[in-house]
Amino acid sequence: MNHPSLLGRESFVELGARARAHALLDAGTVRELAGPFDGLVSPWLARQGVVPQADDGVIVAKGRIDGHGAVVLAIEGAFQGGSLGEVGGAKIAGALELAAQDNRRGVPTRAVILFETGGVRLQEANLGLAAIAEIHAGIVDLRRYQAVVGVIAGQVGCFGGMSIAAGLCSYLVVTREARLGLNGPAVIEQEAGVAEYDSRDRPFIWSFTGGEQRIATGLADRYVEDDSAAIRATVRALLAAGPPATHRSERYAHYLARLRSYDPARQPEPQTVRDIYADGASS
Amino acid sequence: MNIATATATAIATETETANPAASRGAAWLAALSGNAARVAGYPASVQVADAALGGQPARFVALVPDPASAWPRARHGEAGVIEGWSLARAVHEVVQADRDTAIKRPVVAIVDTPSQAYGRREEAFGIHQSLAGAAGAYAQARLRGHPVIALLVGPAMSGAFLAHGYQANRLLALDDAGVEVHAMGKQAAARITMRSVEDLETFAASVPPMAYDIGSYATLGLLWRRIRVGHAAAPDAADLDIVQGALLAALADILADPQRDLRSRLGGPNRQASGRVREVLARQWDD
């Protein structure tokens, strides 16, 4: 990277959720919905000795992207690890439901989800899980009409039930700082042992779940620099492209066929996955 | 809460050596399908049966333990990489077969699964994408007009439940101590939230969404109905009658409902904020 581009670059990863939403929406069009002054705090955290946050760690920002109606759903990784509880989960699910309803009424509202999340907030356990199921439902409904674009910028990454949500998106944008996996490293180590998954071995974790590996194995669609302008341009282009003919989540025949050439008797190397999923990229 | 832990542990241990047919999921699949032949071509852990429900064709799908699975972290009924994509296939097949028919076959997900599979192979090959395949397939079936019913007969845990059952139009559960819903096993949950298991249990007793038992879960408003049977692990003829009746009632309720989304889950006494958030969003949505 040369000096002018480095100097002109605004890091996206370093931005909080609200600033990220503003960075993606057209200037002057942004309205935050169900915001910090609407009295929607988690009813469950205070009684467990956790200080709640007025936005519950999720920003719903409505406005325009490239002149088209859009809603950006941004998860704040700095609050409780980006975990989703009842309120934050309902904000995302509810906004997706309204965007789909708009489309049924002829208003082509689009959605972008900024994932920065460990998944279910365990202090709200079953309500987080239920909300994530509704987020899944909302994405699958909306993607019938519009591309639903997911962005994993880092540094929290995207885990738990929200990694399934990422897998349902029409397109997934990742950076080098992104990680995408179902189970967090500490949880795998807890359940399966350190020999199976060493949660302190960062290069190991990154080599399997990092953005570079996910793009190389076709489990993500765009690999971008940590640059707000680049991410904004990528998101715009994907929204403009519309939903793909076949979503990655529908490609069971492709993946089952590919997986037949892997022998689970041996633990895979990152290269094993690259070889087996070689032409797995959907776009 | 100790009972729930003990039950979960007992189930995990039993299935280690048990015949897969002994799992609750397999037992209910056999009973509800009248021992119909399994659809061929699926892995042993994903059992699919086409059988009548109230005289009309339906597809029943269950995740069951396969102690011989080549994937060592997915031998106890967990939803693993192969399971997720195979569930997706079982559901997409029905959607494609009924593409041009006016009547869409019901799909019944029989849920008895201890968790998603935790392992290196799983993360490497994108288990999140595989489970998205399953969740997406159920959601698409529901949106296309297939009545989708989830019947919880054992543990319905975390990512496995998201992939297999949670997209259903209606959730039904046996009212039994062996049926529990949660986001994470207790030991792992304690470690991740940096609490002792004892603290976690204390909190769970006063915070309904943190509890593991089906009675607490029912207060969240997500279940359509709880079903009391005599033998949750090995149904007899009377149990089968009761559950078939409940499935038919759920089917009728779905068919009478003009909506194909999940809004019928809102309104539970311990889930009021979920409705309030939606009200605020709807009020502020249009400029």
**CATH classification at residue A103:** 3.90.226.10
CB contact under 8 A, A197 and B123: yes
What is the pLDDT at residue A174?
A: 98
CATH number of the domain encompassing residue B211: 3.90.226.10
Return residues 19-38 of B near A (CB < 8 Å).
none
Q: Would you state the pLDDT for residue B11?
A: 38
Question: Over 90: is that where the pLDDT of A121 sits?
Answer: yes
Query: Domain containing A200: what range?
Result: 9-250
- Report the pLDDT value the prediction gives residue A3, as an integer from 0 to 100: 55
Whether A135 has a pLDDT exceeding 60, the answer reads yes
Nearest neighbour of B132 by CB, restricted to A167, A191, A192: A167
B261 contact residues in A (CB cutoff 8 A): 97, 137, 141
Q: What is the structure's pLDDT at A278?
A: 83
Return the residue in A40, A87, A126, A142 with the most chain B beta carbons within 10 A, the one to mutate for interface testing.
A126
Complex confidence, ipTM: 0.96
Q: Name the band, by pLDDT with cuts 50, 70 and 90, for residue A48.
A: confident
Separation CA B240–CA B151 (nearest Å): 13
pLDDT tens digit sequence for A149-191: 999 999 999 999 999 999 999 999 999 999 999 999 988 998 8
Evaluate whether residue A15 is within a structural domain. Answer: yes
The residue segments making up the domain with residue B213 are 2-285
Q: Which residues of A touch B66 (CB under 8 A)?
A: none
- CB burial string B141-172: b at 16+ within 10 A, e below: bbbebbbbbbbbbbbbbbbbbbbbbbbbbbbb
* More reliable by pLDDT, A180 or A47: A180
The pLDDT value given to residue A5:
59
At B112 the pLDDT is: 98
- The pLDDT, as a whole number, for residue B109 is 98
Q: What is the mean pLDDT of residues A200-205?
A: 96
* Residues in A touching B152 (Cβ below 8 Å): none
Q: What is the pLDDT along chain B (287 residues), one digit of tens a residue?
A: 333 333 333 333 333 344 445 899 999 999 999 999 999 999 999 999 999 999 999 999 999 999 999 999 999 999 999 999 999 999 999 999 999 999 999 999 999 999 999 999 999 999 999 999 999 999 999 999 999 999 999 999 999 999 999 999 999 999 999 999 999 877 777 777 788 888 877 778 788 999 988 999 999 999 999 999 999 999 999 999 999 999 999 999 999 999 999 999 999 999 999 999 999 999 999 97
- Identity at B250, one-letter amino acid code: A
Interface contact A125-B210, CB threshold 8 A: yes
Q: What CA–CA distance (Å, rounded) separates A9 from A13?
A: 12
State the total domains in chain A. Answer: 1
Q: How far apart are CA A32 and CA A19, in angstroms?
A: 11
Q: Decide: residue A275, CB within 10 A, 0-12 exposed, 13-18 middle, 19+ buried.
A: middle
Contact A90 B278 (CB under 8 A): yes
**Above 50 in pLDDT, residue A236?**
yes
- CA pair distance A273, B124, nearest whole angstrom: 7
- Interacting residues of A206 by C-beta distance below 8 A, sequence separation 6+: A179, A212, A213
Residue of chain B whose Cα is closest to the Cα of A40:
B277
Q: Who among A132, A134, A180 is closest to B128 (CB)?
A: A180
| Closest-CA distance of chain A to residue B176, Å | 18
pTM of the model: 0.94
- Domain total for chain B? 1
Helix spans in chain A (H): 3-8, 17-24, 86-104, 125-142, 161-168, 185-192, 202-209, 211-216, 228-241, 252-259, 270-276
Q: Show the tokens assigned to B24.
A: 């609750």
CA atoms of B134 and B117, how far apart (whole Å) = 14
For residue A2, being part of any structural domain is answered with no
Query: To the nearest whole angstrom, how far is the Cα of A44 from the nearest Cα of chain B?
Result: 7
